[in-house]
Amino acid sequence: MKTVYLCLNVEKPDSESVSKKLRKKSSKYEIEVVEEPNEADCIVTIGGDGTFLYGAKLALQNSCSLAGINLGRFGFLPSFNPDNVEQLFYALNETSPSDRNILEVETSIGSFASMNEIVLERKRVQRAARISMISSPPNFARTPLPNETADPNVRARILNEEMNEVINEFSTYSKLKEQNIMGPIFVCDGVIVATPLGSTAYSSSAGGPAISPYSDVMSVTLTSLHHPRIPPVVLSSKENLYLQAEEECVLVCDGRHVGDIAGQDVVRVRVGNKKIQVYERPASVVTRLAQAFGAEV
């Protein structure tokens, strides 16, 4: 490791002092602190989970690794202690990072990447959303839509055709109706699709599973589900998830509103091929979860 970029949450009272400590210690480990993220081998965040997720975006944009010093109250994602920055420098020089997956999201309005979660939720507060949802088996591989496919109508048509193909080929046959179940319609407030990194955030608050950050999967949790009942689902990196709402819905990626999805337009979500490499202090995932959620450990 030769260069790092410090990403601070300036609203945290101790962030400046920790930054000064890192700059002072960096020369001892022959690591240079640079002023631009595109010059860095690693982004080091100083703050809580929100700062870490912002640093993850920078790491992805600049094809570099990521590490975090925890100043947050919850702070499950950044694992290094501000009182012992030696651990961070040791990890950067002596250990290898682990991979964290991201979500690739294809919609009629464009393509998006998410480090934490994507949410498709109702736009009208007066009534619940009616969302069709179906996943494809691993043998139904699909790649991102070409960048030149910018026309929303073309994108909508391609994604709709894909979802119909999955429904026609892989739906469960109903003896009662003597036909394929054409993708169940869930009456709910919305759908949360989370990475392992984001599984302890909004998804967890909605009853979703906490997933080891080393997993190459995504979780699917419906919020305020009326019917039919379905538990949170964990899908593999080789499956595609298709969502289609009857009415216009809002699409949120990592807490940011990225656009409105027209009724009947399909949203496809899958685990992306790109990974974020994260340096961290080794710890038991179960112990860290217990501590983060308030256990005395």
| Model confidence, pTM | 0.86
Among 18-27, 172-181, 202-211, 218-227, whose mean pLDDT is lowest? Answer: 172-181
Statement: residue 277 has pLDDT above 80: yes
pLDDT at 248: 96
52 CB-contact burial (10 Å; exposed 0-12 / middle 13-18 / buried 19+): buried
Nearest in space to 120 (alpha carbons), one of 16, 47, 223: 223
What is the pLDDT, as a whole number, of residue 213? 86
The structural domains of the chain, with segments of one domain joined by +, span 3-97+279-292, 101-274
3-97+279-292, CATH topology level: Rossmann fold (3.40.50)
Average pLDDT over residues 184-191: 92
CA torsion angle 65 146 159 164 (round to 10): -110
Give the pLDDT score at 141: 80
pLDDT tens readout for residues 122-133:
998 888 999 999
Q: Model confidence at 67, in pLDDT bands (50, 70, 90)?
A: very high
Model confidence band, residue 59 (pLDDT cutoffs 50, 70, 90): very high
Q: What is the CATH number of domain 101-274?
A: 2.60.200.30
Nearest C-alpha neighbor of 57 from the set 136, 126, 114, 140? 114
